[in-house]
Amino acid sequence: MKQGILVFLNGTSSSGKTSISTELINQKEIHFYHLSIDEFFINYNNFVNNKFPDEAPRGIDHQVVSQIVDDSIFSVYHSTITLLLELGFNVIADTVIDNDKRFTAFLDQFFDRPTLFIGVTCSKEELIRREQARGDRQIGLAASQFSKVYCFDEYDLEVNTEEMNPAECAEKILSYIKSDKEYSVFKNLHKRKVSVS
Ligand SMILES: Nc1ncnc2c1ncn2[C@@H]1O[C@H](COP(=O)(O)OP(=O)(O)OP(=O)(O)O)[C@@H](O)[C@H]1O
- How many Å lie between the centroid of ligand 1 and the Cα of residue 192? 31
Determine the distance separating the centroid of ligand 1 and the alpha carbon of 16, expressed in angstroms: 3
Q: What is the predicted pLDDT for the residue at 65?
A: 85
Q: Is 176 exposed, middle or buried (0-12, 13-18, 19+ CB in 10 A)?
A: middle
d(CA 67, CA 61): 10
**156-181 pLDDT, tens per residue?**
999 999 999 999 999 999 999 999 89
* Average pLDDT for the chain: 93
Query: How far does residue 130's CA lie from ligand 1's centre (Å)?
Result: 7
Mean pLDDT of the region 39-62: 83
Q: CA 55 to CA 5: how far, in whole Å?
A: 44
Q: How confident is the model at residue 96 (pLDDT cuts 50, 70, 90)?
A: very high
Q: How confident is the model at residue 27 (pLDDT cuts 50, 70, 90)?
A: very high
Mutate to test the pocket of ligand 1, among 98, 130, 160, 173 (most ligand atoms within 8 A of CB): 130
Compute CA distances 14 → 74, 108, 180, whole Å. Answer: 20, 26, 29
User: Residue 53 phi/psi, 5° resolution?
Assistant: -75, 165
Q: Mean pLDDT across the stretch 6-17?
A: 97
Q: How many whole angstroms from 57 Cα to the centroid of ligand 1?
A: 42
Q: Sorting pLDDT into bands at 50, 70 and 90, what band is 53? A: confident
- Assess whether pLDDT exceeds 80 at residue 54: no
Q: How confident is the model at residue 56 (pLDDT cuts 50, 70, 90)?
A: confident
Residue 25: predicted pLDDT: 97
Domains present along the chain, CATH in parentheses? 6-191 (3.40.50.300)
The answer to whether the CB of 32 falls within 8 A of the CB of 178 is no
Q: Is the pLDDT of residue 48 over 90?
A: no
pTM: 0.92
What confidence score (pLDDT) does residue 11 get? 96
Q: Which class for 31: exposed (0-12), middle (13-18), buried (19 or more C-beta within 10 A)?
A: exposed
List, chain by chain if needed, residues with CB within 6 Å of any ligand 1 atom: 11, 13-19, 96, 130, 134, 137, 161, 164-166
pLDDT of residue 192: 86
Residue 131 near residue 12 (C-beta atoms within 8 A):
no
pLDDT at 88: 97
pLDDT digits (tens, 9 = 90+) for 101-157: 999 999 999 999 999 999 999 999 999 999 999 999 999 999 999 999 999 989 999
The number of the ligand 1 atom at minimal distance from the alpha carbon of 168 is 1
Choice from 10, 12, 13, 18 to test ligand 1 binding pocket (greatest atom count within 8 A of CB): 18
Whether 59 has a pLDDT exceeding 90, the answer reads no
Cα 41 to ligand 1 centre (Å): 19
